[in-house]
Copies of this chain bind each other. A is one copy, B any other.
Amino acid sequence: MVRPKEFDERIALAAAMQVFWEKGYEAASLSDLTQRMNIQRPSLYATFGGKRELFEAALKAYVQSSLTYIENQLRSDPSVKKSMLAYFQGVIHGAGGSNPDFGCLCVNTMVELAPHDPVFADITGDFQARLTELFQRTIDHGIQSGELPKQLNASSIARVLTLSAIGLSVTMKTKPDPARVEHAAAEILTLLE
């Protein structure tokens, strides 16, 4: 056809995701975004539609890659307990290129936007549901392998693990004593006994 784009949409989207992650939706200005994405303002509008649409795309990409990453982590060890612990350690110390100071983009969005915008309530609610399902499947697997006791209420415990992961990602933003938080994480996992 004609003049090709001079940038890679996926790379630009990943850069936008980082900015929203670090600053939040409102606090991320178009100047911040275009600068970090290395594109000009009209290119952003032509490609993504606008700030809100860009954020929606970035958040959805985050949900996808985050869940994929977690799924792999929950399969990283034959022991369910060990891989669960590894997951929580990752939330506490940062994993997959994430900085615990900025928590989870999805959790941040629940706080900032979900109460005022049903679209983001849906997206972030879906994230929680899928994460809970991941936990539940992992617990079920552990029960089947004999590592975990049969009488566990896998569904409720999975929901608790999701709640705990959210709580952890928030609490880490206040830079608490890591040892204390690790003890708490270990205590949470006693629910699997």
Out of B26, B112, B187, name the residue touching A159 (CB < 8 Å): B187
Q: Are A112 and B24 also in contact (CB < 8 A) when A163-B164, A187-B191, A191-B191 are?
A: yes
Complex partner residue of A107 from B111, B153, B157, B164, CB under 8 angstroms: B111
Bound state CA distance, A164 and B159, in angstroms? 11
**Chain A interface, number of residues (Cβ within 8 angstroms):** 46
Known contacts A164-B167, A186-B156, A191-B191: does B128 contact A102 (CB below 8 Å)?
A: no
Chain copies in the assembled complex: 2
Q: How far is the CA of A153 from the CA of B121 in the complex (A)?
A: 36
Mark the stretch among A3-11, A46-54, A75-83, A171-179 that contacts chain B.
Answer: A171-179
Bound together, the chains give a CA A176 to CA B107 distance in angstroms of 14
- Given A111-B108, A167-B163, A170-B111, are A156 and B183 also a contact pair (CB < 8 Å)? yes
B128, B170, B187, B188: the one within 8 Å of A174 (CB):
B128
**Given contact pairs A165-B167, A191-B190, A160 touches B174 in the complex (Cβ within 8 A):** no
- List CB contacts (< 8 Å) of A84-127 with chain B: 101-103, 107-108, 110-112, 114-115, 121, 124-125
Please, which residue of chain B has its CB at the minimum distance from the CB of A159? B184
User: Using a CB–CB distance below 8 Å, which chain A residues touch chain B?
Assistant: 22, 24, 26-27, 101-103, 107-108, 110-112, 114-115, 121, 124-125, 128, 153, 155-157, 159-160, 162-168, 170-171, 173-176, 180-181, 183-184, 186-188, 190-191
